[in-house]
């Protein structure tokens, strides 16, 4: 009887699409020693503001987990190693077995194949970078390598060039906040923080140029001796210092409760990290201007009340947002340049003849902007349904990267928080964003008579490189006019 050989297969983080460079490991669904089946969920990662479940591309026994929850893992970097028997049953056909094995990378334990040629090796989907890069997020507040609370990274030898097969447009500018940091061991980072040593100026002697504890010790200036044990002939500075007099209760003595923490440091990761990167790009690269209009929303409120009681909208939550979105889409047909973006690389203004309507959604994980695909083709009922659907997916964490990418125009509803108006930043890759303020009953001149009417304020932020003040104002004024008399929408659909 021939004993089945065990092959160690390595699963690398696949390219999940939309030009994503990395993902944060949220949790493992397996542990070392567990048996896994083909397509069984092994981990959950967060990327591009979406949480994605990763299925195993092969069956076997888990022998090693190569990342921990909280780590940021580059596309193509190894995640898990699984021991698979050559004779173990697999997919229904040999071709399927070969395909599955082709997606996995054998480790040095089972194969002598290397990447000395410099060519990239295929992973589950797409291709990964040549360097295997994993950055470790701080486990406790304030654990960043520079004391700022930002996550540490270990990109030794990492190239800033875009990975093969991916769009250069997905790369972010190298702003200081997101610059890569010196590779170092965890112990060296801890010691560097304690001594106030900037690891970026320390020459590393470890594997791949990583800074070690000994490197940090050698970098300590003579004027800053490290903490060491006191010898017998050295005086104890603490003993020589006079003891402070006891404090009275009225002066803040022991009878008072201990003071609370004065600061809380939270590592920047996940949704917050990606939102911050997008907003930095927006503020640094898009010259933005804004316009505002206050409009009588009474007729729109009456129309919404009427439609809610019809069979067509039964089971749907019809909100003012859906009607405002419909009005914006109608106005966009008249002013298509609003649905454009600035192509810096080719120095072109690209006008899109479809609308992927972004809806800003506040979630427990931060701000997400899913978009309704081909929104210009939808009726008010379908628009209402799809807006509710993408919002619910975002709040539940089930939105995919495809749901969150590719938007062409965005609406932000700050009115739900009781705010009259806002000035949102334009999302990168878009030309404008419409902001809806609160809808309130206010004094208003209606047909030359004072009256109490439903009133709201709309704001439009736009990229001034391609949208002049005239175009932005005319678009916004058209949206307001359609909301003042929403029946005129019938002539535009």
Asked about 306 being catalytic, the answer comes back as no
Rg (CA), the chain: 29
Rounded to whole angstroms, the Cα distance separating 217 from 197 reads 10
Q: Are 12 and 78 in contact (CB under 8 A)?
A: yes
Catalytic residue among 284, 306, 353, 464: 464
Q: Are 375 and 410 in contact (CB under 8 A)?
A: no
d(CA 37, CA 376): 43
Give me 237's structure tokens: 């500075």
Catalytic residue numbers, as ranges:
464
């Amino acid at each position: 009887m021939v004993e089945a050989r065990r092959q160690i297969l390595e699963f690398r983080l696949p390219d999940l699409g939309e030009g994503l460079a990395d993902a944060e490991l949220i949790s493992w669904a397996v542990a070392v020693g567990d048996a896994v089946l083909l397509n069984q969920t092994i981990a959950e990662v967060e990327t591009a503001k979406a949480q994605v479940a990763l299925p195993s591309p092969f069956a076997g026994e888990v022998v090693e987990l190569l990342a921990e929850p909280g780590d940021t893992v580059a596309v193509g970097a190894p995640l898990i190693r699984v021991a698979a028997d050559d004779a173990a049953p697999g997919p229904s056909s040999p071709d399927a077995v070969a395909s599955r094995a082709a997606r996995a990378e054998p480790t040095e334990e089972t194969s002598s194949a290397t990447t000395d040629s410099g060519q990239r090796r295929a992973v589950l989907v797409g291709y990964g970078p040549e360097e295997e890069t994993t950055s470790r997020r701080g486990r406790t507040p304030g654990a960043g390598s520079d004391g700022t609370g930002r996550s540490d990274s270990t990109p030794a030898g990492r190239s800033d060039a875009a990975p093969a097969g991916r769009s250069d447009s997905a790369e972010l500018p190298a702003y200081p906040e997101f610059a890569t940091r010196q590779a170092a061991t965890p112990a060296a980072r801890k010691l560097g923080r304690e001594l106030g040593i900037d690891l970026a100026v320390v020459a590393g002697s470890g594997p791949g140029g990583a800074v070690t504890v000994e490197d940090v010790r050698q970098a300590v200036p003579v004027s800053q001796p490290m903490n060491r044990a006191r010898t017998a002939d050295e005086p104890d500075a603490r003993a020589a210092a006079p003891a402070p007099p006891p404090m009275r209760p009225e002066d803040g003595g022991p009878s008072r409760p201990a003071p609370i923490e004065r600061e809380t440091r939270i590592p920047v990761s996940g949704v917050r990290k990606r939102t911050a990167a997008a907003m930095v790009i927006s503020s640094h690269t898009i010259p933005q201007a804004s316009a505002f209009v206050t409009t009588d929303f009474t007729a729109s409120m009456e129309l919404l009340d009427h439609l809610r009681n019809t069979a067509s909208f039964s089971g749907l939550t019809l909100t003012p947002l859906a009607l405002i979105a419909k009005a914006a889409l109608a106005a966009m047909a008249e002013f298509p340049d609003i649905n454009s973006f600035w192509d810096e690389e080719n120095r072109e203004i690209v006008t899109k003849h479809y609308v992927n309507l972004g809806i800003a959604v506040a979630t427990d994980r931060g701000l997400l902007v899913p978009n309704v695909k081909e929104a210009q083709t939808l009726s008010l009922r379908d628009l209402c349904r799809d807006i509710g659907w993408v919002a619910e997916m975002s709040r539940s964490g089930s939105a995919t990267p495809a749901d969150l990418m590719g938007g062409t125009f965005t609406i932000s509803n700050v009115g739900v928080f009781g705010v009259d108006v806002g000035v949102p930043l334009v999302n990168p890759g878009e030309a404008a964003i419409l902001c809806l303020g609160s809808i309130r009953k206010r004094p208003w001149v209606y047909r030359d008579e004072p009256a109490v009417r439903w009133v709201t304020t709309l704001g439009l932020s736009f990229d001034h490189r391609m949208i002049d003040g005239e175009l932005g104002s005319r678009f916004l004024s058209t949206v307001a006019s359609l909301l003042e008399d929403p029946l005129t929408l019938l002539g535009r659909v």
